[in-house]
Amino acid sequence: MTSPEARPDSRHQELIAYYEQAGPDSAAWSSALSMHFGYYRFGFNPFRRERMLDEMNRQVIERLQLNADRRDLIVRLLNAVPGITCKVPGGAFYAWPNVTEACRRVNAADSEAFRKRLLHEAGIAVLADIHFGRRVPGDGQHIRFSYAASTQAIEEGIGRLDAFVRKHGV
């Protein structure tokens, strides 16, 4: 009989069901459940977590055929938008541009107000920094873009962002 600690909770069950339905792609992933469910698996060695996450990111990036070209494209395009600065991301497949000046230009109180306006007025879905924890004092306002998209989608999305900021800029 399985101990209560080892029984998966409902979220764990959802994750298991998702991967079981992944079909042919599931064969490309590690056969060790700890590869996928390291946070949930009873008895998981927490000292191996970083290596597990690095490997998961590597496989995702490989599967999505992400490369430095898309990363460099989104950073270059974001830096061309008035009021936005973006450093080259160090990992994953997300850009984290500072939009403090863009918020001021379009009269948005903060990155969350900016995010909502982008969604409703420009059709761009991003997340504001507050969705990832408290803001760092003095660090400015940020939004997050994924560049796990086609080159065309990146160009179109940043083009809409640029048009929005230029149209509403004061």
- Exposure string over 67-105, b if 16+ CB within 10 A, otherwise e: eeebbebbbebbeebebbebeebeebbebbbbbbbbbeb
Q: How confident is the model at residue 148 (pLDDT cuts 50, 70, 90)?
A: confident
What are the phi and psi torsion angles at 125 (to 5°)?
A: -100, 115
Q: With pLDDT > 90 as the criterion, what percentage of the chain qualifies?
A: 48
Contact criterion met (CB below 8 Å) for 82 and 165 = yes
Contact criterion met (CB below 8 Å) for 132 and 142 = no
Q: How confident is the model at residue 26 (pLDDT cuts 50, 70, 90)?
A: very low
CA distance to 20, 115, 126, 134, 136, per residue, from 129 (Å)? 33, 10, 10, 8, 10
Q: Which tops the pLDDT comparison, 83 or 17?
A: 83
For 60-106, give the DSSP string: HHHHTT--HHHHHHHHHHHHTSTT-B-PPP-STTEE--B-HHHHHHT
CA distance to 7, 17, 37, 82, 149, per residue, from 72 (Å)? 44, 36, 32, 18, 13
pTM of the model: 0.64
- Where in the chain are the domains? 8-63, 68-168
Name the strand (E) or helix (H) holding 143. strand 143-146
Class (C level, CATH) for 68-168:
alpha beta
The residue type at 15: L
Q: How confident is the model at residue 14 (pLDDT cuts 50, 70, 90)?
A: low
